[in-house]
Chains A and B, each alone.
Chain A
Amino acid sequence: GAGVSQSPRYKVAKRGQDVALRCDPISGHVSLFWYQQALGQGPEFLTYFQNEAQLDKSGLPSDRFFAERPEGSVSTLKIQRTQQEDSAVYLCASSLGRTEGEQFFGPGTRLTVL
């Protein structure tokens, strides 16, 4: 595919359920980012991967959030025991290089926790 894809596009979960959000970055992109975006706000950084290595997870709000990119391509963001405050759009972005540069964003997954 030409761009970053994310699935599912929409997810409704009951409080306490676990969810898994998938990101397919652009092929060959080294860097992968996850963000959380609340309504009316800018994206908030969650975590960063360089290939399969998770080099920065300082933005993960709690230990209920876990991300992986085991083969350096597809990434999964998992949220355990979801809470209402986890409701947001989760964005994935990839970039070609290892440091700075244009990030290509996916369409996001809108998570609603009831």
Chain B
Amino acid sequence: SQQGEEDPQALSIQEGENATMNCSYKTSINNLQWYRQNSGRGLVHLILIRSNEREKHSGRLRVTLDTSKKSSSLLITASRAADTASYFCATDGGTGGFKTIFGAGTRLFVKA
């Protein structure tokens, strides 16, 4: 079973618009990561945010983490057609184990 649940399942926007994806998880964590997957490049790491951080930026990406609500959001600003992909959040489970738990993903389509 997967821990993370992304919302929405699918999102279609115009180029230049912002895209926001949300992730909820069930257990305590040490960190949360976001990954992107498209047919061309496979799964690629985007950003990692630790449990003691609330917000992190990387280029056009902004990630927030609310451990009290067990949720995270990924914002992509000024989207491009090349951002079309599936986006997954992944958590470490926080139990001291080694398992990485991925959600089912948000499928983003950016129309040119």
CA distance A50 to B97 in the complex (A): 12
Q: Judging by beta carbons under 8 Å apart, are A42 and B45 in contact? A: no
Q: Judging by beta carbons under 8 Å apart, are B100 and A33 in contact? A: yes
A58 (CB) vs chain B CBs: closest residue: B99
A65-73, A74-82, A95-103: which lies at the B interface? A95-103
CA distance A29 to B39 in the complex (A): 25
Q: Which residues of B contact A106 (CB under 8 A)?
A: 42
CA distance A103 to B35 in the complex (A): 9
Q: Which residues of A contact B42 (CB under 8 A)?
A: 91, 105-108
Partner of B48, one of A31, A43, A44, A100: A100
CA distance A93 to B33 in the complex (A): 14
Q: A100-B92, A102-B33 are in contact. Are A56 and B99 (CB under 8 A)?
A: yes
Give the distance to chain A from B12, nearest Cβ to Cβ, in Å. Answer: 16
Q: Judging by beta carbons under 8 Å apart, are B48 and A41 in contact? A: no
Q: A42-B88, A55-B98 are in contact. Are A104 and B45 (CB under 8 A)?
A: yes
B31 (CB) vs chain A CBs: closest residue: A100
Q: Judging by beta carbons under 8 Å apart, are B100 and A42 in contact? A: no
A48 sits at the interface (CB 8 A): yes
Q: Judging by beta carbons under 8 Å apart, are A42 and B99 in contact? A: no
**B8-50 CB contact bits vs A (8 Å, 1 = yes)?**
0000000000000000000000110100000000111100100
| Residue picked from A42, A50, A101, A105, most chain B C-beta under 10 Å | A42
Contacts beyond the supplied A91-B43, A100-B31, A103-B100: 4 A-B pairs with Cβ under 8 Å: A33-B100, A45-B100, A48-B98, A56-B98
Residues of A within 8 A of B (CB): 31, 33, 35, 40-45, 48, 50, 55-56, 58-59, 91, 93, 99-108
18 contacts between A and B (CB under 8 A): A31-B98, A35-B102, A40-B104, A42-B4, A42-B103, A43-B88, A45-B102, A55-B98, A56-B98, A58-B97, A58-B99, A59-B99, A91-B43, A93-B43, A100-B48, A102-B45, A103-B100, A107-B42
